[in-house]
């Protein structure tokens, strides 16, 4: 059988083959069809809009609660107690987002989302809630404020995106505020974990020692230290990822600014 032509295309994965060009040839037909994104159905969209609206409202409640408490008390200290319950409720509620990814109505990675939500939930419950002594620390206010502003912007971003009416301001805020809020939040989180360490060591909180009939041990104190250390490789990666996203998203400034 005679072949009129055989192409070996180095598609997007292979490195560019460098060798002298050769005569006139047909241009490669791109067999790589764009991946068809099947968005969530109408019911899923309605649900997600409600979810994101509720979450936006929830974090606004926390924001307002913080401001009011500050005005009433006249100081920044100990504001955690005034928003403890809504913080726990809405931050824990974010666990649903893992489900959204798993079911497929949100096109994000289950692993990535899971990791982000669980780390927040861990800080809320396994550190701040569990170690009473840190609740009056200022570092708690630092990460709570960072989370609050971030979440208000993030959930309104999703709400508007789902409704296909995303104001440029929200998009800009989402991809700009993190530049300050992310380091601020991380600082607050690390300082809080650090403040919890002595109490954990003293009380042996969440720790299991040998001997026991299941031949297992766990030292929560060491675990917290390892958690703090893990921020070193993780934080820069996430931060620079967001910066790259920012460049990509805000690059089309001219097209969207008229919205």
Partner 1 sequence: MIERREGWEGNDRANEGERDLFPQLKPGVEILDAKTKDKLCFLDKVRPLHKYYPQWYAARQSIRLDPKGKSLKDEDVLQHLPVGTTATFYFRDLGAQISWVTVFLTEYGGPLLLYLMFYFRVPFIYAPKYDFTTSKHWVVHLACMCHSFHYLKRLLETLFVHRFSHGTMPLRNIFKNCTYYWGFAAWMAYYINHPLYTPPTIYGEQQVRIALIIFLFCQVGNFSIHIALRNLRPPGSKTRKIPYPTKNPFTWIFLLVSCPNYTYELGSWFGFTLMTQCLPVAFFTAVGFIQMTVWAKGKHRSYLKEFRDYPPLRSPILPFVL
Q: Which is nearer to partner 1, 164 or 215 (CB)?
A: 215
CB nearer partner 1, residue 20 or residue 74:
20
Smallest gap, in angstroms, from Cβ of residue 34 to partner 1?
12
Q: Among 186, 92, 112, 103, which residue's Cα sits nearest to residue 143?
A: 186
- Of 36 and 257, which CB lies nearer to partner 1 in the complex structure? 36
Report which of 117, 199, 181 is spatially closest to residue 143, judged by C-alpha positions.
181
Active-site residue among 182, 206, 231, 256?
A: 182
- 68 Cβ contact list (under 8 Å, min separation 6): 82
Rg (C-alpha) for the chain, rounded Å, is 24
256 belongs to the catalytic site: no
The rounded distance, in Å, linking the Cα atoms of 170 and 69 is: 27
**Min dist. Cβ of residue 126 to partner 1 (A):** 20
> Prior bond to 60 cis, omega within 30?
no
Residues that bind partner 1 (CB under 8 A): 1-11, 13-23, 25-29, 31-32, 210-217
Environment class of residue 202 by beta-carbon count within 10 Å: exposed (0-12), middle (13-18) or buried (19+)? exposed
At its nearest, how many Å lie between partner 1 and the CB of residue 151? Answer: 33
| Catalytic (active site) residue 182 | yes
Q: Is the CB of 3 or the CB of 255 nearer to partner 1?
A: 3
Q: Active site residue: 80, 97, 189, 220, which one?
A: 189
Judge contact between 131 and 219, C-beta under 8 A: no
Between 12 and 38, CB nearer to partner 1? 12
CB of 57 to partner 1, least distance (A): 39
Closest separation between CB of residue 107 and partner 1, Å?
19
Active site residues: 182, 189
């Amino acid at each position: 059988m005679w072949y009129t032509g055989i192409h070996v295309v180095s598609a997007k994965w292979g490195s560019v083959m460098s060798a002298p060009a050769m005569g006139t040839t047909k241009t490669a037909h791109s067999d790589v069809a764009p991946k068809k994104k099947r968005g969530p159905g109408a019911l899923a969209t309605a649900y997600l809009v409600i979810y994101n609206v509720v979450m936006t409202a929830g974090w606004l409640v926390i924001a307002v609660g913080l401001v009011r408490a500050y005005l009433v008390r006249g100081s920044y200290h100990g504001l955690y107690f005034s928003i403890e319950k809504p913080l726990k409720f809405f931050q824990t509620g974010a666990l649903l987002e893992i489900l959204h990814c798993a079911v497929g109505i949100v096109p994000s990675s289950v692993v990535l989302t899971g990791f982000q939500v669980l780390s927040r939930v861990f800080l809320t419950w396994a550190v701040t809630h569990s170690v009473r002594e840190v609740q009056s620390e200022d570092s708690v206010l630092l990460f709570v404020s960072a989370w609050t502003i971030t979440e208000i912007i993030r959930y309104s971003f999703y709400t508007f995106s789902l409704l296909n009416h995303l104001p440029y301001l929200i998009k800009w805020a989402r991809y700009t505020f993190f530049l300050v809020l992310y380091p601020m939040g991380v600082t607050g989180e690390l300082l809080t974990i650090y403040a919890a360490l002595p109490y954990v060591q003293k009380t042996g909180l969440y720790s299991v020692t040998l001997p026991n009939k299941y031949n297992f041990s766990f030292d929560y104190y060491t675990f917290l230290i390892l958690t703090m250390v893990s921020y070193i490789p993780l934080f820069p990666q996430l931060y620079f990822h967001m910066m790259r996203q920012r460049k990509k998203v805000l690059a089309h400034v001219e097209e969207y600014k008229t919205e």
